[in-house]
Every structure is written in structure tokens, then in C-alpha cells.
Chains A and B, each alone.
Chain A
């Protein structure tokens, strides 16, 4: 069939529900208005030798929502999810309770489907973004907060590049035990050694006794060439760092920036980056009311003190509270747009683009729901439950918990059991439990250890069930 015949055929078939102008008569009416006999005339700019070699071969259309819904449901029903199973997976994507209101806000068409309007017609959304930044800033004790970036790793990568620009230095100290996904992203952002802008990541030991960064080792490695010290609390293995203030002091003494990665859900109980004296805070936004969605819920933030020195290095967009033409009325405008890639192309700070701005609205609603008491209470609940899990697992012969002093995630040691994490997890899976992630590949020094995540969604019964199942599996 010729291209022309295909097109004419298409115009004669039933209208498609997603396309108002596919109504056959209307389509013809538009052709008449434009003055073409054949829609193909409108593609005259595309040379014949550029056209596709043969007609597209795609699976048959499921134009009816009835058929499409059946197909999607039957395919996705093959998944086994963390609601019907009991999951202890974490490591950059965590199972937290998503308040029902967050679900509703995420689904509002006004927030869900648009891209960009005028500052006045977008005022509601811009206000929600400002509330995201303000509330996150309150949690962090930081007064300048950018709109979110793709993920924690991307936030850390940008922050490291900010520090390199600020100091003109090219070395960054990072804990040797860093979440492998996050580390891989950071390495990408630091550019390979062949590039002039390469930033070298210098590993700092973690104290095998405590699981915390070895501050003495850090003191040895830090120098006048250090652009930044990057560390996290709780760190990638769940352990709370107790010497963040000392690390920030060391950074300042050497003219280096201190970048602190934090989980905002911990900040009702743990010291915020501002209190620690960190210069740049980064971290994840997914815990704040966003589903895991197979990793599709992740997002990241960058925040600093409200100092021009830092503000001028942000790669992100951000909104500022500003006046309108009517006295007393408030609006929101983009601030420091010119330094973004939209404003200055390759001369801008790194780049920005679509990010996870819908989640910023959801995060704002989440933080407002929790309030100061909610964050404190939730942090305590996570502490209690995760430590209960540690106590319960410690009682299983052959199982121990590697380090105390953790928040939400704990390293469970199976070395004494003679079982591999793979074997343990396979046994747990048969019992409807997803065990913690396997650390043996990325951290071979630990041997057979798993990273277990315990949050407010885990009940005492869930944790008891885990301990019993592990006992059975390793018996």
C-alpha cells in the first residue's frame, strides 16, 4: 500500500479517544482550511531519501481502554510487591508510609500534567515549591534550597562540582564505604581522568569497629588540595556519624567545603547539617511521601547557607518570594535563572532540565502533615523498630548485627551462619520476605552481610516473623 493510501485509510477509520481532531470529517475540514489534498504535502521539508524504509511494525493497537487495561493488569500482576510481601530492602530507596493526602496531591491534574505557565497562573504550584524549599530548609537548618534534582547521587555530584568551582581544587574525600549506586553516579559527575575537569575521589577509611568514618584517617588525607569532604549521616551502612562537627571544622581549617548527605526523615531526631556546620547539604526526597515505584520515586536536594558565594554556584532552578504589582500581595519568581543552563547554555552551572518537581509538591504536603512533632515521633519510631530488629536478629544463632548506633538501616552479618546472603534471601523469598540487600559484592571485606531497612511500616510481628524465618533458613 502506498503512503498516500495508508494516510487516507487512517483518516477514514474511527476517531481515537486521545485525539479530538481525528474525527474524520473534522480532519478533512482542517485539510480544506489549510488547502491541501493530501496531508503528505505538509511534510515536503523531509527529503524522500530520509523517509523510513518500510512501514512501522508495532504490536497491534489497543485503542479500547477495556482491552488496554486488561493487558496492563495481566502483565503487571506478575510482579510480587512489597505490600503483599514483607520487605527489608533499602539502600537509596526505602519503604515508608505514604500518607493518603500525598497520594491525592500527586494525582491532582493541575499539578500532574502541566509544564510551565505564567508566574501568576502558576502561583499555586510555585507556592508549593517555595513551601518545599522552606520546610526542607527548616529541617536542614539551611536557608537557601534549590528545587530538587534527579536523585541523591546527582545532588552529591552537583555539590562536589560546586565545591570544585568554589575552591578551584580537584580532590574530594569520600568514605570508602559508599552506597555503590550513589558512588557510580558521583564518579560519572567527576569526569574521567582524561578530562581537564576531572575530580579525583580519595577514599577515607571507615573504622571497622564502629562503622563510622575514621576521622584520624581523614585528618591525614585532608590538605590544601581538598575541594570538599563528602560524608553522610546516617551513612551508607546506616550508622550515625558522631563527629560531623569535627569533620566540618577540619574542612574549614583547610579551606575545603563540607558536603553532608542526610536522610530528611531522620531530622526530627538527628542533628541537621546546619547544626553540624556543614556547608552544603544533599540527600534524598523519596522518603518524604513518595512511593518507591521500583526506584522511580527517587529525587535529591541541594541546600546551603543563604550566602551569595554558594547561591551563585547552584545548577538548579529555584523560586523566590517576591511582591506583585498590588501592594501586600505575594508572588514567586525564579531566582538566579541566568546561571542555569537555560539562561547560559554551556556557560551555565552544570545543567538543569525536567527533574522531579511533582515530588517537590508532594514533599511539601508531607512535611506540613508531619510538623515538628511528627518528625520527632517518626524518627523515634524508626529508631525503636530498627533497634528492635537488631535485638531480635542478634538472638538468632549465627547471626549478628555489625554495628550499633544506626538509624533505619543495619548491617546484618551472616558470616557465622555459614550461609551466603544469596542463600538466606532465597529462603526468605519462599516465605514471602524480601531480605536486605547483599553487601558481599560491593564490600567484600564484610563477607556475607546484608543491609536491612526497618521503618515505621514494620510492626513487631513483622520483625519477629523475619527473625523466625531467618532462623529457619540458616538452620
Chain B
């Protein structure tokens, strides 16, 4: 093992912005009204009827411009993010090329309004259409739309398309079920339910996926759609997926492919060739656009020719040498969100795809899977680390689900403790597992094509070191972190109405109440 870094997060003891500043200080001045405006319009107060006026000034801080800048830079510094190593599985941590940021920050994109005339938007429309063509080639679908604001929103878009499709055929009242699996991302079940469907969830069987027989038993003339991902986030690929789609189609339902875990299979399979009617790609994940700590994101939703009439609008289309927007469609689901989506993210994803090309994308998949298998070899050599579904002989794809159950049983140290302690060495959280945990004390690292062998080795070295500490000094690990900006966070009161506080005003009121109570 190489020696570990002597990392320590910056500790600024940064106050809340609401506690900072002095009365009368200013960080922003509105432009003064020109004389012509003053003379003609006079005092602004007269322009608001008294019933509609604000009575008390908002309790906001009063700071100089520099104080605001420094405060948020301190908060940035107190965020580890990707300054260290983050192998956050299921999210495919990638390099987000600075070029994309530079391009998207220019007025030619930042200062566009979606309501401008098409003639003034030809550049951005061309990028969107060109990227649509790239995704069509990667999936075999006939058309993409970028309106959904994330992967979950794309799943929701599919649930809405499913409604519109069956409604048009007069079968919506009858087809009120969506089938998914317990290893599909929770958003599939949740968005299907929010769209009004009942959810049927198939459990996993010994091979790591539900059986064909289980699917056959679940599907009926009440089934509206199957919503499923593959491979799942244990790295297991369902080899019967083509048969699954056939079964669903025979029942008259639609098959949706949540391509959340596309990184390991990109360039090797196409959703449409497997029979799927629709699929979703996350541009903030697989296509190099930044994640923003949870968006702005894009769930690019693509579908077969048959479903295009039902897609949300607007669609970007090419007519000869011109690009145009189709705003409405009689059978379409209307909108799942205002406007055309997070356009800068689409532009960055296009830029990323052009930088990679077909060969680069294939190489990225190769590296993702190769490095995952490299990690697996090293991780399974560490005492206390086990793997889900040990009976599966074939190599996993871009990630593998592991368990720290042995460490937990032998030392009392949990996966969360280990995660916290790893952050003391500049390693940010690993992904554990979506709810429900099928594997106890889970963790799911994903290296993707970004992280170097040195980074991956360091990550494993830290894990090995921390597991060693769990055996030699479990309190050290349970009390972690020790080198972060703050210590172990106590969220035990966060679900208690008498102590939760999503705002400073609520916090002060409740703290005062609890002091008085004492």
C-alpha cells in the first residue's frame, strides 16, 4: 500500500449567511431610473395598490459584494466534490470538459430566450438536432426529446406517453398497471405511480434478476408498460431481456428501457434492436454534462416511430437546410416541463459526444468494464469485502455491488462509518444502494472511464486502510470523520416536527421554544 494523503478539509467555521453583515451594507444596487423615467412615472410605491404591498422588509442579510463572494467560496471549499476521488456508483462520475462550460456561458447560449423566432435560433437548433441523431444511432430510436429535467423526469415522460398511447387506443381505463423490478431505479416505480398507474414490482431470483416465468405471471391485459433498467446497478445483465420485451408486447403493453447504466454497454447494444419502444439517457451522467450536485440535468427521452405522436413537445426537426420547432401534436402528452429542456446541458453533451466519436465511446465502455473488473479483483482480496450474487461467473459490467456485512458483524463498524472515515483521506462517498437494501451494508463503486488506475488504487488503498482500522480501532472509524470541515452529523432529529428546520426562521423559533421549555 502506498502512503495515504494527509488530507484535511478547510475549516472556516463559516457562519450562516443570515448571521453575517451589518445593517445598511449593500451588495447590489439597482440601476437608478433615468430622468425621463422619473419625470414621467414618479415614485414606484404609487404603482402598487396598497393591498398588494409588502408590509415588512424580508429578513435577509446585508452584505458587501466581496463578503458574499468570499462566503460562497468558503462554502465551495468546504465541499469535497470531485476535488478528491468520487466513485459514486450508478452516477457515472465523468470529466465534465471545461470547453462545454466556456461555450455555454457565452451570450449565444446563455442569453437566448426559448420564445425567440426560429430564424434567430438556428445554431442551437442545429446542435439539438445533431445530438438527437447521435442518440438515435446509439439506441436505434426514431426521435429524442430533451424536455425532461432528469432521468426520473424522463421516466415520468414515458409514463405519460404510455397514458396517451393507451388512451388513444381506448384501453387506458383497462391498462392500469406498470411492471418493474426491485432493482430498477425507484423513479420508475414512483413516476408510474405519480402518473396514475398501479405498480407491480418483481423480486430478484438467484441469477440476479427476476425470472421469465415471474414476468409472464405478472403481465396481463391490464399491463400498460414495463419500465426496467439493464444491466442493473449490481452490474448484472439480464440475458432474457429480449424475451421480456416480447412477452410485454404480446400483452399489448409498451417496453421502456431506463438506460441509467449505459456506460458499460454503450456501442454494444441498442435499445430498439432489443425490441424496446422507448428509452432514456442521462446526459449529466453518461454524456459528460456536469451533475451540479443534482441538476440541472437532462433525461433524453427517445422512442420508436409509433410513439412519436405521443411524445411531449416541442420537437426539434430539420426541414431541408432549416431547423424548426414542432410545438404541438394532437395526440401528444403536452409538456412535462416548460420549454425545451436544459439546453446548455444538451450542448455540452453534444460537445462531449463529438470529442469522443464512435471509437471513443466504445473505448470508454471498454475502460469502464475493465477497470470495474480490476477493482473487483483487488477489493475481493480485502478481508471483509464480499460481492452480491457470488455465484455469477461472468464478469460484471461497469459496476459491482459489494457488502461490508462481514466487517460489520466482526467489528460493529457499518458501511456508513467506513464511508465517513474514507472522506478523511479525500475520498468522497461511495454509492451504497437504493432502497430497499437487498444486500446488507452495501457499497457500489463505479470507476467509469474517468478515474486513472492511480486514483482507483488509492481509493482501494484507503478502503483497505479503513477496514484495517475497523478491526484495530473501531471507535476511530465510528467517530469519523475527523479531517472534514465538520464532524459526524447527527440527523436523528431531522424527522421530528419539533426540531426539523429547513429554514433559519424555523430553526430560531424552535430553538427558542426548546430553551423556554427547559
Closest Cβ of chain A to B461, distance in Å, is: 15
Closest Cβ of chain B to A347, distance in Å, is: 8
B contacts with A, residue count (CB < 8 A): 220
Complex Cα distance, B120 from A407, in Å, reads 28
Task: Let me know if B438 is at the binding interface, CB within 8 A.
Answer: no
Q: Return the chain A residue nearest B123 by Cβ.
A: A78
Most B CB contacts (10 A, CB to CB) among A82, A308, A332, A346 go to A346
Would B36 and A334 count as touching, CB distance under 8 A? no
Per the 8 Å Cβ criterion, residues 152-168 of B in contact with A are 152-153, 156, 160, 163-164, 167
In the complex where A39-B369, A381-B33, A391-B40 touch, is A30 in contact with B374 (Cβ < 8 A)?
Answer: yes
Closest Cβ of chain A to B84, distance in Å, is: 8
Task: Let me know if B86 is at the binding interface, CB within 8 A.
Answer: yes
Q: Return the chain B residue nearest A292 by Cβ.
A: B113
Would B199 and A346 count as touching, CB distance under 8 A? yes
Complex Cα distance, B342 from A151, in Å, reads 11
| Binary interface encoding of chain B residues 249-290 relative to chain A, with 1 for a CB under 8 A from any of its CBs, else 0 | 000000000000000010111100110000000101000101
Partner of A21 from B167, B193, B449 at Cβ < 8 Å: B449
A contacts with B, residue count (CB < 8 A): 224
Complex Cα distance, B20 from A367, in Å, reads 13
Would B51 and A245 count as touching, CB distance under 8 A? yes
| Binary interface encoding of chain A residues 6-25 relative to chain B, with 1 for a CB under 8 A from any of its CBs, else 0 | 11001101001011111000
Complex Cα distance, B346 from A272, in Å, reads 35
In the complex where A124-B75, A143-B509, A372-B60 touch, is A240 in contact with B52 (Cβ < 8 A)?
Answer: yes
Task: Let me know if B485 is at the binding interface, CB within 8 A.
Answer: yes
- Sample 24 A-B pairs with CB under 8 A, ordered by A number: A21-B367, A44-B394, A45-B394, A49-B242, A58-B137, A62-B357, A81-B110, A111-B76, A114-B93, A115-B93, A127-B16, A138-B18, A138-B504, A150-B153, A188-B335, A242-B51, A271-B51, A324-B487, A335-B491, A341-B190, A345-B435, A368-B27, A377-B30, A378-B30
Partner of B370 from A27, A141, A161, A456 at Cβ < 8 Å: A27
Q: Which of A85-93, A213-221, A224-232 contacts B (4 or more CB under 8 A)?
A: A85-93
Task: Let me know if B315 is at the binding interface, CB within 8 A.
Answer: no
Task: Let me know if A322 is at the binding interface, CB within 8 A.
Answer: yes
Q: Which of B65-73, B210-218, B462-470 contacts A (4 or more CB under 8 A)?
A: B65-73
In the complex, which residues of chain A have a beta carbon less than 8 angstroms from the beta carbon of B101?
107, 112
Would B86 and A114 count as touching, CB distance under 8 A? yes
Would B500 and A117 count as touching, CB distance under 8 A? no
Task: Let me know if A55 is at the binding interface, CB within 8 A.
Answer: yes
Most A CB contacts (10 A, CB to CB) among B116, B191, B354, B451 go to B116
Complex Cα distance, B149 from A359, in Å, reads 13
Complex Cα distance, B335 from A101, in Å, reads 33
Would A109 and B152 count as touching, CB distance under 8 A? no
Complex Cα distance, B107 from A39, in Å, reads 44
Q: Which of A169-177, A193-201, A411-419 contacts B (4 or more CB under 8 A)?
A: A193-201
Q: Return the chain A residue nearest B112 by Cβ.
A: A294
Complex Cα distance, B500 from A41, in Å, reads 52
Chain A to chain B: the 4 pairs with minimum beta-carbon distance, closest first: A61-B357, A295-B339, A353-B152, A333-B491
Partner of A294 from B16, B44, B74, B113 at Cβ < 8 Å: B113
Complex Cα distance, B195 from A341, in Å, reads 13
Would B187 and A298 count as touching, CB distance under 8 A? no
| Binary interface encoding of chain B residues 362-391 relative to chain A, with 1 for a CB under 8 A from any of its CBs, else 0 | 111011011101100100000000000000
Complex Cα distance, B60 from A272, in Å, reads 14
Q: Return the chain B residue nearest A459 by Cβ.
A: B34
Would A374 and B27 count as touching, CB distance under 8 A? yes
Task: Let me know if B31 is at the binding interface, CB within 8 A.
Answer: yes
Task: Let me know if B206 is at the binding interface, CB within 8 A.
Answer: no
Would B111 and A114 count as touching, CB distance under 8 A? no
| Binary interface encoding of chain A residues 87-114 relative to chain B, with 1 for a CB under 8 A from any of its CBs, else 0 | 1010111010011010111011111111
In the complex, which residues of chain A have a beta carbon less than 8 angstroms from the beta carbon of B31?
381, 456, 459
Complex Cα distance, B58 from A378, in Å, reads 14
Task: Let me know if A398 is at the binding interface, CB within 8 A.
Answer: no
17 further contact pairs, Cβ within 8 A, besides A120-B423, A161-B194: A19-B364, A22-B367, A56-B361, A62-B354, A105-B76, A120-B487, A134-B16, A137-B503, A198-B196, A275-B56, A292-B111, A293-B110, A306-B506, A333-B490, A356-B294, A371-B27, A391-B41
Task: Let me know if B302 is at the binding interface, CB within 8 A.
Answer: no
In the complex, which residues of chain A have a beta carbon less than 8 angstroms from the beta carbon of B190?
341, 345-346, 348, 350-351
In the complex where A113-B82, A292-B112, A325-B487 touch, is A68 in contact with B189 (Cβ < 8 A)?
Answer: no
In the complex, which residues of chain B have a beta carbon less than 8 angstroms from the beta carbon of A112?
96, 101, 290, 292-293
Per the 8 Å Cβ criterion, residues 330-349 of B in contact with A are 333-347
Complex Cα distance, B342 from A356, in Å, reads 10
Would B500 and A335 count as touching, CB distance under 8 A? yes
Would B501 and A320 count as touching, CB distance under 8 A? yes
Would A295 and B75 count as touching, CB distance under 8 A? no
Complex Cα distance, B478 from A235, in Å, reads 53
Would A120 and B363 count as touching, CB distance under 8 A? no
Would A369 and B193 count as touching, CB distance under 8 A? no
Task: Let me know if B142 is at the binding interface, CB within 8 A.
Answer: no
| Binary interface encoding of chain B residues 46-88 relative to chain A, with 1 for a CB under 8 A from any of its CBs, else 0 | 0111011111111111110100110111111111111100101
In the complex where A275-B54, A294-B339 touch, is A331 in contact with B423 (Cβ < 8 A)?
Answer: no
